[in-house]
């Protein structure tokens, strides 16, 4: 039986980009918390972090550290989740994992609540639930209504992904490189394979023998799993840009039916999690600067392809550490524990 009163929760990776956003959103949404335990690496042990007007001490992970908790959010990377999420479950807590460690495990639900939250009805005892990759989450929020109403043949997507997607050290790297470049100094590069300031890097993750990088493979495989349809053809080309926060995606979606722009826009306007910004003649379309810090997935520049009448182009933008990570994880928890947001 899922407990519904005040919860005892843990946040692993509480000092990171996603962990910090978790704490912010838990406060903003008045998540019902009785006790919170914060975890990070040994280097952060003892650090104090303010939460709801109180100072909480950061601890490192140790056997038994999750005992008594109902729920643990993980955002410390694949290796930490691989080892510690199963321990949280055996200690009696639900583990909501932001890493890529369990996403394609057939036994583990991979959930975007607006899209396939119904599968959480089967989740009635502590287990691992995976949060999809940030670029996948925003894409499937836009694809899902099209898939349900018209059917999708194929999706092609080119991404423009901010540095915050690579963590707090990546944000520091962009800031330092930008300052250095403005002062005509040499730039140091540690996180990305090339300088990121004033640059686009057509690589996110490592390359496979097929020529696709790991982010592109994640988008293809995760989309099919979340939409519960293996026959949709998905091809992604992912690029890191020198924006600070918020991912943008250009999509070409080929539908199974011929539809009008009115059909697409009116469907989007009534679909959960989506906000339409589509008035190009007045320069109105989604932008990372306005999406950063907000909850919705924004969609605009919606137009029909001139060569393929069933293909629709659109521009999809969202905050990658918010809906792409922490917010989605909290929405999963709200669904499991039947919490009104
Ligand atoms: N950033 C995004 O947009 C995004 C989106 C979706 C998913 N994710 C996933 O979320 C995870 C975290 O990403 P992030 O961007 O938040 O990274 P980040 O800013 O680099 O933060 C990493 C966090 O992990 C902690 N950590 C490192 N080693 C640890 C250890 N041995 N034990 C416990 N905690 C440890 C760090 O603690 P210290 O401060 O002590 O080093 C920090 O709190 C990754 O799996 C990433 O793929 C990120």
Of 56, 65, 147, 247, which one is the catalytic site residue? 247
| Residue in the block written with tokens 């810090």 | 293
Residue to mutate, 77, 166, 174, ligand 1, most ligand atoms under 8 Å from C-beta: 77
Does residue 140 share a domain with residue 122? no
Token digits for 67? 């005992």
- pLDDT tens for the chain, 341 residues long, are 454 589 999 999 999 999 999 999 999 999 999 999 999 999 999 999 999 999 999 999 999 999 999 999 999 999 999 999 999 999 999 999 999 999 999 999 999 999 999 999 999 999 999 999 999 999 999 999 999 999 999 999 999 999 999 999 999 999 999 999 999 998 889 999 999 999 999 999 999 999 999 999 999 999 999 999 999 999 999 999 999 999 999 999 999 999 999 999 999 999 999 999 999 999 999 999 999 999 999 999 999 999 999 999 999 999 999 999 999 999 999 999 999 88
| Residue 2 placed within a domain | no
Mark whether 134 is an active-site residue: yes
Phi and psi based region of residue 205 (left: phi greater than 0; alpha: psi -120 to 50; beta: remaining): left
Does residue 145 share a domain with residue 106? no
Does residue 270 share a domain with residue 126? no
CATH number, domain of 127, equals: 3.40.50.720
Does residue 119 share a domain with residue 24? yes
Query: Whole domain around residue 152: which residue ranges?
Result: 135-319
Distance 320 CA to ligand 1 centre (A): 14
For residue 289, which phi and psi values (nearest 5 degrees)? -60, -35
pTM of the model: 0.97
Give the Cα separation of 118 and 83 in Å (integer): 28
Mark whether 65 is an active-site residue: no
Does residue 98 share a domain with residue 229? no
| Residue 341 placed within a domain | no
Closest residue by Cα to atom 34, ligand 1, is 40
Does residue 67 share a domain with residue 48? yes
Does residue 108 share a domain with residue 143? no
Distance 236 CA to ligand 1 centre (A): 24
Q: Angle at Cα 157 formed by Cα 226 and Cα 98, nearest 5°? A: 45
How many distinct structural domains can be found in the chain?
2
Does residue 214 share a domain with residue 285? yes
Does residue 277 share a domain with residue 260? yes
Residue to mutate, 15, 16, 136, 163, ligand 1, most ligand atoms under 8 Å from C-beta: 16
Residue ranges lining ligand 1, Cβ < 6 Å: 12-19, 39-41, 43-44, 61, 75-77, 80, 98-99, 134, 164-165, 167-169, 320-321, 324-325
Residue 163 is given by DSSP the state: G
Does residue 100 share a domain with residue 248? no
What pLDDT, on the 0 to 100 scale, is given for residue 273? 98
CATH number, domain of 290, equals: 3.30.360.10
């Amino acid at each position: 039986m899922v407990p519904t009163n005040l919860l005892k929760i843990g946040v692993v990776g509480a000092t990171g980009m996603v962990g910090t956003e978790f704490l912010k959103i838990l406060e903003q949404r008045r998540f019902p918390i009785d006790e919170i335990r914060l975890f990070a690496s040994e280097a952060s042990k003892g650090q104090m972090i303010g939460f709801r007007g109180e100072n909480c001490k950061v601890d490192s992970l140790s056997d038994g550290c999750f005992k008594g908790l109902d729920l643990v959010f993980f955002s410390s990377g694949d290796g930490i989740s691989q080892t510690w999420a199963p321990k949280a479950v055996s200690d009696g807590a639900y583990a909501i994992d932001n890493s890529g460690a369990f996403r394609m495990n057939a036994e583990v639900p991979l959930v975007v609540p607006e899209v396939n939250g119904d599968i959480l009805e089967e989740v009635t005892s502590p287990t691992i639930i995976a949060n999809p990759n940030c670029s996948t989450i925003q894409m499937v929020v836009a694809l899902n209504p099209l898939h349900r109403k018209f059917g999708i043949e194929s999706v092609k997507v080119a991404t423009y992904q901010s540095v915050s997607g690579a963590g707090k050290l990546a944000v520091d790297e962009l800031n330092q490189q930008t300052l250095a470049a403005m002062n005509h100094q040499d730039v140091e590069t540690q996180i990305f394979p090339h300088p990121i300031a004033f640059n686009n890097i057509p690589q996110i993750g490592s390359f496979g023998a097929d020529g696709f990088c790991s982010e592109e493979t994640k988008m293809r495989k995760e989309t099919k799993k979340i939409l519960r349809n293996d026959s949709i053809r998905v091809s992604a080309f992912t690029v890191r840009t020198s924006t600070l926060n918020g991912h943008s995606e250009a999509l070409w979606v080929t539908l199974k039916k011929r539809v009008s722009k009115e059909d697409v826009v009116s469907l989007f306007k009534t679909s959960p999690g989506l906000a339409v910004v589509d008035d190009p003649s007045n320069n109105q379309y989604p932008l990372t600067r306005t999406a950063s810090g907000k909850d919705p997935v924004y969609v605009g520049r919606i137009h029909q392809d001139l060569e393929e009448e069933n293909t629709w182009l659109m521009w999809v933008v969202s905050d990658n550490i918010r809906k792409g990570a922490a917010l989605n994880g909290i929405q999963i928890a709200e669904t499991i524990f039947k919490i009104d947001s």
